[in-house]
Each structure stands twice: as structure tokens, then as C-alpha cells.
Amino acid sequence: MNKTFTLLIADDHPIFRQGIIKIVEQDPAYIVVDQCGDGSEVLDKISNLKPAMVIMDISMPGKNGLEVLRESQQKKLATDFIILTMYKDEEYFNEAMNLGAKGYLLKDNASKDLLHCLQAVSQGNHFICPELSHLLLERRSRMHSLEKSKPGLGDLTPTEKKILALIAQNKTSKEISEQLFVSIRTVQNHRNNIAQKLGLKGHHKLLQFAIENKTYL
């Protein structure tokens, strides 16, 4: 028996959602279990329905797609996300990749790319639509350059990498400690270790570095 995959569709345009459902239903391997038009509903529906994949717009009322991705990552929800957007913006793309999106498609090409994307993601792979492949190449190039200029990045522990990403969001040590359930002193010790490994000296250098490179951390 062929394996089937359950999907949740999240987009604030009902007509567009119906169009996506029609595309998905062309392949019996994919079953749409629910749909919604408000980002604040997505996480609850994931918790209740546990879909294998979520096809989601970035721009939605309530919570945008990036906020949903961030909260899903924090809650360690076992769902793969496919972003379907009008935006060709590099910053949106990089942040979505940083937050674990498995697919990234342009709405204009959904009818052509969506089933290919679902197949790739259901097999454990990533899928970026061809029109945005240059963003992926640029991202890899920038990350390689950053790793070359700051080889200490490879020496950071998983916790240090997480704290560096939170620093890049301009979060204070207090906010980081509350999010990670550790003491402020522990966060400050991690900050000192990160700065030392990256060769950053001075009170604001770590924050400056993190913000300047946030889409690649």
C-alpha cells in the first residue's frame, strides 16, 4: 500500500487555498486534513492534527509565517513546512531557511512546482523553486565566506549557536535566559565564550557581528 501524507493549508485568501487543494488532490499520496486563514491558528491545528506537512504563506493575519516557523522550532513540532509566497526577498528566504523550512515556492509558479516540492519534502529533501535558486547559491556562498573569515564558528557548541542566533534577534541576556530556562549568569558566560571563539573584543562587538550576519547564523 502506498504511503499517504497529511497536509494543512494556511493562507488568508480562501480562493487561493481552494486552488492549492485542487493541485494537491491531483496526487492521492497527499491528503488535506484542514485549512485556515490566520497564522495564530496554525500551531494549534498542528498540535491537534499532526499533519506531515504544512503549506503556508508568509503574509497572514494573527501571526505571519516566519513567526509560526519560529514557534514551531521552539516547540520542536514534527511537521515539515513549505513556504508559498509572492516575495522574492532574500531576507525572507534566508530567515525561512534558518527556521527550518523544507520548501520555498513562489505563488506564481505553484501549479508547476507544488507537486514536485511535496514529493521532494516527503522524501526528506529540500525543494527551492528554480526561480529562486540564485538565492540558495548566494546563501551558500555568503555562509562559506563567513565561516572562512570566522573559523571559530565551527567550534561553537549547539547551545552557543542557539544563543548567537538569539543575540542576532537583539534579545537581551535576560530575555535569552527566560527563553532557554537558564540563569542570566549562564547566558553571560556563553556570550563571553562565543566572543572569545570568534575573536570579538569590546562590549558591543558580539551584538554587532550577530545582527550584521543574522541571516547566516
- Residues 33, 61: contact at Cβ < 8 Å? no
Answer whether 0.95 is exceeded by the pTM: no
**At residue 85, what are phi and psi to the nearest 5 degrees?**
-145, 165
Give the residue range(s) of CATH 1.10.10.10 domains in the chain: 150-216
pLDDT, position 88: 86
pLDDT, position 192: 93
Give the residue range(s) of CATH 3.40.50.2300 domains in the chain: 5-137
Domain 150-216 class?
mainly alpha
Residue pLDDT, tens place only, 149-167: 888 888 999 899 989 989 9
Residue pLDDT, tens place only, 74-98: 888 889 999 999 988 888 898 898 8
Percentage helix, strand, coil, to 5, in the chain? Answer: 60, 15, 30
What CATH number was assigned to the domain covering residues 5-137? 3.40.50.2300
pLDDT, position 81: 97
Q: Sheet containing 5-10: which strands, arranged edge to edge?
A: 30-36, 5-10, 53-56, 80-85, 103-106, 127-128
- Residues 69, 100: contact at Cβ < 8 Å? yes
| Under-50 pLDDT residues of the chain | none
